[in-house]
A and B are shown apart, each in its own frame.
Chain A
């Protein structure tokens, strides 16, 4: 799974990607092409690099900004370097690109042998970033250029000059060729540097945290940066939420409408992606565990565009996730209110059955939000809900473990708060009470 495949995920990771201030288009491309990490050691190595970059951001911001300013000059010259490795003869534009990159790497103390590469492309030792086929490359070149200048109409001289230039391009290309691999590596390292510095700055600005890795997941004070930003525009604050889950123990989240269940699920999904792509997390603290496969099942507008009913699209999405679980890889499955668009009788049955179907799967961590009351052997979390004494005005978005799987009945209170037709809601209250008696 590449980063570009999850950047549009409905979890909203796009917000952090857009806010990431990369200095070069090439770094953006490299980031989008990154593969998701599944090995906790690899993830921890990435975090250790990010941690060092963060220390630099906090400790010496000026140096960081200077480095980032230089990185604006980074260009994607992978095509040129591939031609070089393939044995091609390069031209002046390509030599310029290589010299430019090598000098950039040298100023940032990156790469090895950069001084040798620069030496090949700077025969006069001028130490400037420009390039042309310098006269000093050969005595022949110098004399032919002088001859052409004094007699510009001599076709033979011009041809001789062109031949000498071509010969020199081949000589220079051959001299550079042994460094093709190290140049490729350095190019990639420069992009990585751009990315990690941008991540470290973002970590500082957004108040993000590096998690630790373990076998179960436990997050404290998580927030959704995109939702937090839009709340702040309205002068409100995001209430951080705690949550924990692990493989083999399904978890359901129940609670009032507008209680933040979906946002919590989106945040969990985003945290998982951020973790496995080596980004710092929007949490107070977190212990994370990597999965081979992350599945987020949530209805979106795409369903309508493809012509499937939301129910059909949802069922198929969950079905594919069940298949993935059966294959045996470690799967994180996040499902937002499954079967909510069908009738509650069948809906409840479908949800209860799904939980049974997926119980006893040690390779699966399942988190599901629902409005249905379903008993299961796993854990149940509940949105704290309306704060008592506020007449339904204030919501406590925190999630708490609960023994009862009975969904809270707060919909009517919330509807009243929304100013919905009072006669309608009173009537609903009466009908509900009659049913329960």
Chain B
């Protein structure tokens, strides 16, 4: 039963898919099915509209989330009314979303739910804080692909990444692109003295400002333009960039690679803990990759175990 033990060592874990249909929901169900609820109180939610019965983009069937007896879940009023097992209501939130307010309930029996929780990372954090009275040990978050911010270590302690044929249909490319995200997630935590220079955006700096600075704190997003400028001044000596966390990096893989090859370094203030990578070799357009090769290649590249949880259907 891979990586469930690691999950239990954290108070919050987000499951993030690199593309729609990358197998995130299967991954979430895999985890929820295997958590030992006898000793642990678990709450699950998702960010924004995820957990639709059919995928809104491709129209393919999308499994619902199965909650077990005793599990807490948070979803919108609309989805709560639509489908749920017998559940005890614990809270109705104040913030209104397109699907109504966020309802927090405890399942009194096993059953399927449609998950659509708080609509922003900030609202998600508020919801997580509101759970403190309910004695929750572990919060599992179904993170939307467009909202990588839920995986920010500022929100959840650890993460599980799901990737697959829907992200790229070519194994080499898939491994390559997934490895890049993994590298960002595992960027080291900054440990040096307080950086001399802080920049908040590309427009607030120029090459002259950068000159002579060895460590630069990036206060907002690290964009291609900013990274390019820093890269150009690498000739003058080594430079380390410090960003908030990996979700603040919005740079192309090529530029990032070039920056690192020329001796640049990037570190983060808050480090994420990546617990596992799951793959879904099937894409909604019918492409099926070889699961064994995919797992082997990706695992070799990132140095972490990679699981195809659907194919292997690990014991409960």
Contacts and interface: CB of A to CB of B under 8 A. Distances in A.
Nearest to B84: A92
B103 A93 contact: yes
Interface string A55-67: 0000000000000
B92 interface: yes
B81 A149 contact: no
A129 B86 CA distance: 17
Contacts of A132: 86-89, 108
Interface string A77-108: 00000000000000111001100100000000
Nearest to B77: A93
Contacts of B88: 130-132
Chain B facing A: main interface SS: strand
Most buried by B among A25, A92, A129: A92
B94 interface: yes
A75 interface: yes
Nearest to B134: A130
Interface string B34-73: 0000000000000000000000000000000000000000
Interface residues of A, number: 16
A75 B89 contact: no
A132 B89 CA distance: 6
A145 B86 CA distance: 9
B254 to A, nearest CB: 47
B90 interface: yes
A100 B94 contact: no
Contacts of B200: none
A93 B87 CA distance: 11
A24 B94 CA distance: 9
Contact of B92 (A24, A25, A75, A133): A75
Interface string B76-110: 01001100001111101010000000010010110
B109 A25 contact: no
Contacts of B89: 92-93, 96, 130-132
Contacts of B108: 132
Most buried by B among A24, A97, A130, A131: A130
Interface string A144-175: 01000100000000000000000000000000
A377 B13 CA distance: 77
A131 B81 CA distance: 14
A412 B65 CA distance: 77
Contacts of B92: 75, 93, 96-97, 100
Contacts of A130: 88-90, 106
Contacts of B103: 93
Contacts of A25: 94
A91 B88 CA distance: 13
A93 B90 contact: no
B87 A91 contact: no
Nearest to A161: B86
A75 B81 contact: no
Nearest to A134: B88
Interface of B: 77, 80-81, 86-90, 92, 94, 103, 106, 108-109
9 contacts: A75-B94, A92-B89, A93-B77, A93-B92, A93-B103, A96-B89, A100-B92, A129-B90, A132-B89
